[in-house]
Amino acid sequence: MLQVGTKAPAFTLPDAQGNLISSETFAGKRWVLYFYPKDSTPGCTKQACAFAAAHGEYEALGVPVVGVSKDSQKSHQRFAEKNGLPFLLLSDPELTAIQAYDVWKEKKLYGKTSMGVVRTTYVIGPDGVIEWAGEKVKPDQNAQQILDFLTGK
Protein backbone atom coordinates (compact mmCIF):
# COMPACT_ATOMS: atom_id res chain seq x y z
CA MET A 1 0.00 0.00 0.00
CA LEU A 2 1.23 3.49 -0.78
CA GLN A 3 1.74 5.74 2.22
CA VAL A 4 0.30 9.13 3.13
CA GLY A 5 2.51 11.86 1.69
CA THR A 6 3.32 9.86 -1.46
CA LYS A 7 2.62 11.35 -4.89
CA ALA A 8 -0.31 9.41 -6.35
CA PRO A 9 0.67 7.53 -9.55
CA ALA A 10 -0.96 8.80 -12.74
CA PHE A 11 -3.12 6.46 -14.81
CA THR A 12 -5.67 6.38 -17.63
CA LEU A 13 -8.35 3.68 -17.60
CA PRO A 14 -11.70 3.11 -19.33
CA ASP A 15 -14.96 3.62 -17.47
CA ALA A 16 -18.03 1.39 -17.84
CA GLN A 17 -18.98 3.16 -21.10
CA GLY A 18 -15.48 2.88 -22.58
CA ASN A 19 -14.52 6.55 -22.03
CA LEU A 20 -10.86 6.93 -21.08
CA ILE A 21 -10.56 8.62 -17.70
CA SER A 22 -7.23 9.98 -16.54
CA SER A 23 -6.26 10.60 -12.95
CA GLU A 24 -5.23 14.04 -14.24
CA THR A 25 -8.98 14.76 -14.63
CA PHE A 26 -9.03 15.27 -10.87
CA ALA A 27 -5.99 17.56 -10.65
CA GLY A 28 -6.74 20.48 -8.34
CA LYS A 29 -9.47 18.49 -6.52
CA ARG A 30 -9.53 16.24 -3.53
CA TRP A 31 -10.90 12.84 -4.56
CA VAL A 32 -11.44 9.29 -3.33
CA LEU A 33 -9.89 6.36 -5.18
CA TYR A 34 -10.92 2.94 -3.95
CA PHE A 35 -9.76 -0.44 -5.19
CA TYR A 36 -11.97 -3.47 -4.73
CA PRO A 37 -11.67 -7.16 -5.65
CA LYS A 38 -14.73 -7.97 -7.80
CA ASP A 39 -18.05 -6.60 -9.03
CA SER A 40 -21.24 -8.10 -7.59
CA THR A 41 -19.61 -9.95 -4.69
CA PRO A 42 -21.15 -9.38 -1.24
CA GLY A 43 -18.39 -7.19 0.26
CA CYS A 44 -17.81 -5.18 -2.90
CA THR A 45 -21.54 -4.60 -3.34
CA LYS A 46 -21.81 -3.44 0.30
CA GLN A 47 -18.92 -1.03 -0.17
CA ALA A 48 -20.21 0.37 -3.48
CA CYS A 49 -23.74 0.80 -2.12
CA ALA A 50 -22.38 2.60 0.96
CA PHE A 51 -20.51 5.05 -1.30
CA ALA A 52 -23.68 5.42 -3.39
CA ALA A 53 -25.78 6.14 -0.29
CA ALA A 54 -23.29 8.82 0.78
CA HIS A 55 -22.94 10.24 -2.74
CA GLY A 56 -24.86 13.45 -1.90
CA GLU A 57 -22.51 14.18 0.98
CA TYR A 58 -19.46 13.60 -1.20
CA GLU A 59 -20.94 15.85 -3.89
CA ALA A 60 -21.63 18.57 -1.33
CA LEU A 61 -17.96 18.43 -0.37
CA GLY A 62 -16.92 18.51 -4.05
CA VAL A 63 -15.12 15.18 -3.66
CA PRO A 64 -15.54 12.69 -6.53
CA VAL A 65 -15.45 8.96 -5.77
CA VAL A 66 -13.82 6.53 -8.21
CA GLY A 67 -13.83 2.74 -7.88
CA VAL A 68 -11.29 0.50 -9.64
CA SER A 69 -11.22 -3.27 -10.13
CA LYS A 70 -9.88 -5.60 -12.79
CA ASP A 71 -13.41 -6.41 -13.98
CA SER A 72 -14.44 -5.66 -17.57
CA GLN A 73 -16.29 -2.53 -18.67
CA LYS A 74 -19.39 -4.67 -19.30
CA SER A 75 -19.22 -6.09 -15.77
CA HIS A 76 -18.90 -2.55 -14.36
CA GLN A 77 -21.87 -1.44 -16.43
CA ARG A 78 -24.08 -4.25 -15.06
CA PHE A 79 -22.82 -3.68 -11.50
CA ALA A 80 -23.48 0.08 -11.66
CA GLU A 81 -26.93 -0.33 -13.23
CA LYS A 82 -28.05 -3.07 -10.84
CA ASN A 83 -26.99 -1.08 -7.75
CA GLY A 84 -27.68 2.49 -8.95
CA LEU A 85 -24.06 3.56 -8.56
CA PRO A 86 -23.70 7.29 -9.33
CA PHE A 87 -19.89 7.39 -9.46
CA LEU A 88 -17.18 6.23 -11.86
CA LEU A 89 -16.05 2.62 -12.00
CA LEU A 90 -12.83 2.10 -13.92
CA SER A 91 -11.72 -1.14 -15.51
CA ASP A 92 -8.11 -2.23 -15.00
CA PRO A 93 -7.74 -5.76 -16.45
CA GLU A 94 -4.02 -5.17 -17.13
CA LEU A 95 -3.52 -4.19 -13.46
CA THR A 96 -1.89 -0.88 -14.45
CA ALA A 97 -3.25 1.26 -11.61
CA ILE A 98 -3.81 -1.73 -9.33
CA GLN A 99 -0.07 -2.49 -9.32
CA ALA A 100 0.99 1.18 -9.32
CA TYR A 101 -1.04 1.70 -6.13
CA ASP A 102 0.40 -1.49 -4.61
CA VAL A 103 -2.93 -3.24 -3.98
CA TRP A 104 -2.21 -6.49 -5.94
CA LYS A 105 -1.18 -8.91 -3.20
CA GLU A 106 -1.07 -12.52 -2.23
CA LYS A 107 -4.32 -13.47 -0.51
CA LYS A 108 -5.42 -16.58 1.36
CA LEU A 109 -8.97 -17.85 1.23
CA TYR A 110 -10.04 -21.20 2.64
CA GLY A 111 -6.39 -22.26 2.80
CA LYS A 112 -5.81 -21.48 -0.88
CA THR A 113 -3.28 -18.81 -1.84
CA SER A 114 -3.81 -16.62 -4.89
CA MET A 115 -3.08 -13.11 -6.12
CA GLY A 116 -5.82 -10.51 -5.94
CA VAL A 117 -6.82 -6.95 -5.12
CA VAL A 118 -6.71 -6.04 -1.45
CA ARG A 119 -9.61 -3.68 -0.66
CA THR A 120 -7.81 -0.35 -0.30
CA THR A 121 -8.95 3.28 -0.30
CA TYR A 122 -6.98 6.46 -0.87
CA VAL A 123 -7.91 10.11 -0.50
CA ILE A 124 -5.84 12.13 -2.95
CA GLY A 125 -5.38 15.83 -2.38
CA PRO A 126 -5.62 18.68 -4.91
CA ASP A 127 -1.81 18.55 -5.26
CA GLY A 128 -1.91 14.86 -6.25
CA VAL A 129 -0.47 13.67 -2.94
CA ILE A 130 -2.10 10.89 -0.89
CA GLU A 131 -3.76 12.39 2.22
CA TRP A 132 -5.34 9.23 3.61
CA ALA A 133 -4.69 5.54 2.96
CA GLY A 134 -6.51 2.50 4.30
CA GLU A 135 -5.80 -1.14 3.52
CA LYS A 136 -8.26 -3.99 4.17
CA VAL A 137 -10.98 -1.41 4.88
CA LYS A 138 -14.37 -2.67 6.07
CA PRO A 139 -16.82 -2.57 3.13
CA ASP A 140 -19.80 -1.30 5.12
CA GLN A 141 -17.82 1.32 7.08
CA ASN A 142 -15.40 2.68 4.48
CA ALA A 143 -17.63 5.39 2.96
CA GLN A 144 -18.43 6.85 6.40
CA GLN A 145 -14.82 6.50 7.52
CA ILE A 146 -13.71 8.64 4.57
CA LEU A 147 -16.49 11.18 5.13
CA ASP A 148 -15.38 11.52 8.76
CA PHE A 149 -11.82 12.14 7.57
CA LEU A 150 -12.94 14.70 4.97
CA THR A 151 -15.10 16.59 7.48
CA GLY A 152 -12.59 16.36 10.33
CA LYS A 153 -14.74 14.21 12.62
Residues classed as catalytic:
44
Strand bridging mode 88-91 / 104-109: unpaired
The alpha carbon of residue 89 and the mean position of all alpha carbons in its chain are separated, in whole angstroms, by 8
**Cα angle for residues 63, 140, 5 (degrees, 5° grid):** 45
Which amino acid makes up residue 90?
A: L
**Cα angle for residues 12, 18, 57 (degrees, 5° grid):** 75
Contact residues for 41 (Cβ-Cβ < 8 A; gap 6+)? none
